[in-house]
Amino acid sequence: MDGPVSSDGTRPAGEGRGAIPPGSEEEHATFDTSVAHLARVYNYWLGGKDNYEADRKAGDQVIQVQPEVVDSVRAGRAFLARVVRYLAGEVGIRQFLDIGTGIPTADNTHEVAQSVAPESRVVYVDNDPVVLAHARALLSSSPEGATDYLDADLRDTQTILTEAARTLDFSRPVAVMLIAVLHVIGNDDDPYGIVASLMNAAPTGSYLALSHVVSDIEPQKMEEVRSRLNRVMFQQSTYRSHAEVTRFFDGLELVQPGVVRVQEWRPDSEVEAKRTSRLWGGVARKR
Ligand SMILES: C[S@@+](CC[C@H](N)C(=O)[O-])C[C@H]1O[C@@H](n2cnc3c(N)ncnc32)[C@H](O)[C@@H]1O
């Protein structure tokens, strides 16, 4: 499946694949609910309702070894919102390419960006059919801005860049956002090459924002989590160390405080700063 659904293009929300009604027969025909999927397991941890028994079982298996996972995913969402607010507010970025969007929840990228700058333009990319079924919620752009949804695979950067160019102007700075998605890109799929090809397409003054599941905080527990999930989840995970995550920013200028636990990245409250995430996160500028 592929194809865009645009908030301001020739295929308005309601006419594209994003119009598949959640829970409809059409939606159910497009995916297998008996196997856990990352988007739905993540939705379960976040307290959402867009998940199935297999997802809840997988999620619970992780909670058994690591109850903090629930706090970790919340810290991850809060990081996303702070990063978008920083980029739209302090930096003045007006274009966002959010790959690995997830099932819509509170504070989606366009809502945060357009609350700061209504003219912000956001392209969402995910390859999960449930996210696609909810794409309409991601397309509620402000009249001054625009949103688009691409049903595409992160590994297919050429398709993403070509289709995103319908909404984003790649001669102007773009924030490439890879929030909690690169851990399902194995080393055989060249994750560093994928990030480099996205950043090569963006001009000077663009930003890379990413978070990534850790391998080197409580490493034994993390290995147990990874192997439990890999037994039951469709996507296979590769967790990475601080050094391996920092390598994604090679050639870019890291914004302070660098690559840190996401709750330590410019927290805006003590509650946020005290969360216990298992995610490294950082933001960097293209020189
Ligand atoms: C853990 S969720 C993170 C969602 C969101 N970025 C956040 O931080 O709240 C990861 C998302 O990446 C998507 N994803 C996984 N592999 C992908 C791929 N190869 N291409 C595009 N999206 C992918 C999943 O479907 C899921 O929605």
| 26 vs 152 pLDDT, higher one | 152
Residue 105 and residue 124 in contact, taking contact as beta carbons nearer than 8 Å: no
- What percent of the chain stands above pLDDT 90? 86
Instruction: Tell me the CA distances in angstroms from 108 to 29, 84, 261, 283, one per residue in order.
Output: 27, 10, 21, 18
pLDDT at 22: 44
Q: What is the pLDDT of residue 191?
A: 98
The predicted pLDDT at position 63 comes to: 98
Q: Extract the tokens encoding 71.
A: 């706090």
pLDDT in tens, 55-107: 999 999 999 999 999 999 999 999 999 999 999 999 999 999 999 999 999 99
SS3 30: coil
Average pLDDT over residues 215-235: 97
Give 144-163 pLDDT, tens digit per residue.
999 999 999 999 999 999 99
38 lines ligand 1 (CB under 6 A): yes
Q: How far apart are CA 72 and CA 213, in angstroms?
A: 10
Query: Over the range 85-104, which residues count as b (16 or more CB within 10 Å of their CB) and which as e?
Result: bbbbeeeebbbbbbbbbbbb
Q: Residue ranges of the alpha helices (H) in the chain? A: 25-29, 38-45, 53-65, 69-86, 109-116, 129-133, 157-164, 191-200, 219-232, 242-246, 270-273
Per-residue confidence band for 30, with pLDDT thresholds at 50, 70 and 90: low
Q: Check if the beta carbon of residue 167 is closer than 8 Å to that of residue 9.
A: yes
pLDDT at position 103 = 96
CA distance 233 to 60: 13
**How far from 141 is each of 108, 132, 163, 269, CA to CA, in Å?**
11, 17, 18, 28
Q: Is 128 in the pocket of ligand 1 (CB under 6 A)?
A: yes
Nearest ligand 1 atom to the CA of 185 is 19
| Cα 99 to middle of ligand 1, angstroms | 7
CA separation for the pair 279, 183 (Å, rounded): 10
Under 8 Å CB-to-CB from 132, ≥6 apart: which residues? 1, 17, 18, 20, 30, 126, 149, 151
Would you say residue 137 has pLDDT above 80?
yes
Distance CA 41, CA 27 (A): 18
**In the structure, what pLDDT confidence band is assigned to residue 29 with cuts at 50, 70 and 90?**
very low
Q: What value does the mean pLDDT take over residues 17-32?
A: 50
* Ligand 1 centroid, distance to 125 Cα (angstroms): 8
Q: Please say whether the beta carbons of 236 and 230 come within 8 A.
A: yes
| Mean of pLDDT values over 254-265 | 98
Burial bucket for residue 137 (CB in 10 Å: 0-12, 13-18, 19+): middle
pLDDT for 136: 85
Strand partners, 177: 98, 209
* pLDDT, greater one: 285 or 1: 285
Nearest ligand 1 atom to alpha carbon 131 = 27
Is a pLDDT exceeding 50 seen at residue 17? no
Q: Tell me if 199 CB under 6 Å of ligand 1.
A: no
Mean pLDDT of 257-274: 96
Pocket test of ligand 1: the residue of 46, 82, 128, 179 to mutate, having most ligand atoms within 8 Å of its CB, is: 128
User: Which pLDDT score is estimated for 7?
Assistant: 53
Ligand 1 contact via 129 beta carbon (within 6 Å): no
DSSP 145: S
- How much is the average pLDDT of 115-139? 94
Query: Which two structure tokens, joined as six digits, stand for 4?
Result: 């865009």
pLDDT, average across residues 233-240: 97
Check if 229 has its Cβ closer than 6 Å to any atom of ligand 1: no
Nearest CA to 119 among 145, 93, 155? 145
Quick check: 10 and 154 in contact, CB under 8 A?
Answer: no
pLDDT at residue 142 in the model: 94
pLDDT value, residue 3: 38
Q: Is 80 exceeded by the pLDDT of residue 50?
A: yes
Query: Cα–Cα distance between 244 and 256 in angstroms, integer?
Result: 18
Give the model confidence (pLDDT) of 162-203 as tens digits. Answer: 999 999 999 999 999 999 999 999 999 999 999 999 999 999
Q: Is 83 in the pocket of ligand 1 (CB under 6 A)?
A: no
pLDDT value, residue 138:
85
Atom of ligand 1 nearest to the CA of 105: 9
Q: Is 46 in the pocket of ligand 1 (CB under 6 A)?
A: no
